[in-house]
Amino acid sequence: MRARRALLYVPGADWRKIEKAKGLNADSVCLDLEDGVAANRKAEARSTVARAFSSLNFGKSERLARINAVGSGFEVDDLAVVGLARPDGLIIPKVSSAIAIQWTSDQLASIERKMNWSVGSIYLLALIENARGVVNLSQIAEASPRVQALIFGAEDYAADVGAIRTPGGNEVLYARSAVVAYAAAYGLQAIDLVFRDYRDPEGLSVEARGGAELGFAGKQVIHPDQIEAVQEAFTPNEAQIAEALNVVQAAGVNLQAGSGAFAVDNKMVDMPVIRAAERVLARARVAGKLERDG
């Protein structure tokens, strides 16, 4: 699966920002048709996003679009226009059950057949933003083979449950952790919440590192200045990579010799430690910090 350390949202009706975004080297660029676009500009945004996907080179950045929520009244036209421009994937907001995923998957299949594309080639990322979505994480995660990631939307979730947002974020910790746990259980990526104050780089770095420590693969960002710090936070550093390589290499020798547990640099190593090291190396490979056969 590809790296999604920083997922940058860009208003779908703003051509200038879209053109800028294609050169920012964010792992993922999401052209937004939902919250970033006023109701009276939805049609304009659709055509702008379709034009961008058809005419601009986003380099190595993943090309995503966030459509409007299923049931909003905008989603059918979103798919009809943007789907034909063949984005890499779609973010489905406010997912509360498997129904929204299954409906979107069916619509995409019709488009793919019509255009003679491989069915399932456009994948989905589910944005979990309410209590029902958290309660139904299991059915959402397995709703379609198209689903590659679960994304946590803290602001909508907090509003839905009546929580008061605080800098520490304890009020969303349960839901945030649940998204990580269910993503891991179903072999999906988990993408963390937005840090809203883009003028606070220190706070951003702290929260991003905390998300990486919780098990998230990446974080949503809303400003170009957030990209570098976020991608750094979700990339293993040289010391972490070296330690993980040492553990995995030692494991190959010791497990073959029949040792279930052994010491590396005066620290005991067993299977959970080996699996954790393997995950560090997998993240490093996806981020381009380690050769595939390294």
Residue numbers annotated as active site: 270
**CB of 126 closer than 8 Å to CB of 183:** no
**CB of 281 closer than 8 Å to CB of 244:** yes
153 is written with which tokens?
């939307």
**CB of 48 closer than 8 Å to CB of 18:** yes
Class of residue 254 by CB neighbours under 10 A (exposed 0-12, middle 13-18, buried 19+): middle
Give the H or E element holding residue 271.
helix 271-286
Alpha-carbon span 259 to 167, nearest angstrom: 46
> Reduced to 3 states, what is the DSSP secondary structure of residue 207?
helix
Residue 152 main-chain phi, psi, to 5 deg: -100, 125
148 is written with which tokens?
């590659």
